[in-house]
A and B are shown apart, each in its own frame.
Chain A
């Protein structure tokens, strides 16, 4: 277990350097350097241009620029937004809690619904429930979630009026961002109804974002459970005279979780990708929304820094999944 962890940690370093190098090269392959972009069409004297280029380190050879960039990163400096002049890290910190809150709720929804559905479908293999679940998981896995989000708004917000159309909370509330997680901040604020409003805003985007992982988890749980239910130790558990529920949950599901967790880890990248679309549809002020805007504004510093942070996040989550996998699987632990 310890060796597994150190090996994974050792792999993270080259991957991180690769990620930064790729980001660096991609941004540098944009035609026209940042000085020209900033100066625009107006034209500028050659001396001034050279001065700016020197100031930004652009007259250095590429490898030197990359090393400088790495040095900046190690000091936690991701550069500044060209548009707002705010540091990329500060902006990320303001937007990230919204994305985190949305993603966690979406994943929780996907797990809380998908796991029991998968288990029930496997236990009642060939039943109407089973076929229904297969249909849902095939549809869910193919769902264009930006469309699904808009349809959900159309049905539940516009036609039925159950939930608000967009945003994180009603405009009439002002919640001091203490943790940045609106559910928590609203819960501890003295504004009556703020928490309720935050929940009402969150529910639809979370369901929409959770749809694809839900389909994947349900499908994976079903097939893992089908395999595990045929194992000898499940028969042993039944031979002890245990109640069927205990056999399924304590003995079968515990083993089926091992492959499901692996798949869950792979879903995190897809979840963050989906968050970009969901945030755009629901005008959710998160990282995805921020990145899409940075593309439209050609704010490459934000795009580069934000993408890098997301990649680091994915790497950390993958590491966490590896640890969880080791915890779940005793055969890896010893």
Chain B
């Protein structure tokens, strides 16, 4: 059986800047995949490319992009629009600016339904109220008439989720869904997403920079850095034994793992920009195990200890690089 979403060797360029480089990604039906990385690592761009939502300046190339076995790469715009919003839906980081300020939220949710189904007005109205109830918006009968500026960020994000799941999508892509929200409502929205995913058996791609979110939700994790996938493995072994030095550094930076240490460890340096991409491993300048080979040769993604890793010296169970010349 073909996976829900299959992406092979996806590249996205903005002018001479490689935002995404050779990304492979698969999501099975009913699976939760977390894509982790710092801002600018290309995690959102690759998902926007799959949805066909990139601005015109973005150039997309791939070996294969397929949804439920159907080719998306060569689909007509009309064919793509039949899937988008119905079979695969997306929610975004800033709920308040992602909703149109000129229309009530009920109208905007109804529009998502009407775009794909012909149904009588009253039926659509009933479904919108039911959806708002399902995503935990209190007093949904009144809230359908509310405008986005009248609601809190948390309620707006719930409305966005209602809009995304309106047509029962098989795949939901959530792009940093809790980042812009107050800390107190983040957990509620996250629990809602995971609950909906279980209830409906949706595939869920959760894009985040927050390892804590990953720990709570993910079945499988893909770590991205500067447009490339650095490591991919199931969640439990990833947290137990990260195989890429970058993943290990990310985990070390989690406050709950740093107990007893005088200072929270950080990763020195910054993500390379358009002008200073290293010729070798993209993470090498910030890596504490860097060697001459790291600078000379860009590693390929390969299997090591049951994980897919892009590193010349994948870490062993003790966290030490293997095969690194002393």
| Partner of A240 from B52, B101, B111 at Cβ < 8 Å | B111
Contacts known (A240-B112, A240-B115, A334-B150); A254 close to B98, Cβ less than 8 A? no
Q: Would you list which residues of chain A between 225 and 243 have a CB under 8 Å from chain B? A: 230-233, 235-243
Most buried by A among B90, B92, B101: B101
Q: Give the number of residues in B that approach A within 8 Å (Cβ atoms).
A: 31
Most chain B beta-carbon contacts within 10 A, residue among A232, A240, A244: A240
Pick from B15-23, B79-87, B121-129, B287-295 the stretch touching chain A.
Answer: B79-87
Residue interface mask B81-112, A partner, CB < 8 A = 1: 11111100110101001111111000000011
In the complex, which residue of chain B has the Cβ closest to the Cβ of A255?
B102
Give the docked Cα–Cα distance between A235 and B49 (Å). Answer: 12
Checking A251, A254, A331 against B147 with a beta-carbon cut-off of 8 angstroms, the contacting residue is A331
User: Is the contact region of chain A dominated by helix, strand, or loop, or is it mixed?
Assistant: helix
Q: Which residues of B contact A330 (CB under 8 A)?
A: 101-103, 147, 149
- Tell me the minimal C-beta distance from A246 to chain B in angstroms: 8
B83 contacts which chain A residues (CB < 8 A)?
A: 241
Task: Point out the residue from A231, A232, A240 that lies within 8 Å of B163, measured CB to CB.
Answer: A240
Closest chain-B Cβ to A205's Cβ sits at a distance in Å of 36
Contact of A239 among B90, B94, B100, B102 (CB under 8 A): B90
- In Å, the complex CA distance between A254 and B52 comes to 23
Q: How far is the CA of A39 from the CA of B101 in the complex (A)?
A: 66
Known: A239-B53, A334-B147. A233 touches B98 (CB 8 A): yes
Give the size of the chain A interface in residues (CB under 8 angstroms).
22
Q: Chain B 43-67, CB within 8 Å of chain A: the 1/0 string?
A: 0000000011101000000000000
Residues from chain B with a CB closer than 8 A to the CB of A243 are: 81
* Residue of chain B at shortest CB distance from A241: B85
CB-defined contacts of B149 to chain A, threshold 8 Å = 330-331, 334
Which residues in window 290-334 of A have CB below 8 A to B? 328-331, 334
Interface pair A241/B82, CB less than 8 Å apart: yes
Task: Please report B residues at the A interface, Cβ cutoff 8 Å.
Answer: 51-53, 55, 77, 81-86, 89-90, 92, 94, 97-103, 111-112, 115-116, 147, 149-150, 160, 163
- A-B pairs with lowest CB-CB distance, top 10: A241-B85, A240-B85, A241-B84, A233-B100, A232-B97, A232-B98, A241-B81, A240-B112, A330-B147, A236-B98
List 24 A-B residue pairs with CB atoms under 8 Å apart, sorted by A's residue number. Answer: A230-B55, A232-B94, A233-B97, A235-B98, A236-B92, A236-B98, A236-B99, A237-B100, A238-B53, A238-B84, A239-B89, A239-B90, A240-B112, A240-B163, A241-B115, A241-B116, A242-B81, A242-B85, A244-B77, A255-B100, A255-B101, A328-B102, A330-B101, A330-B147
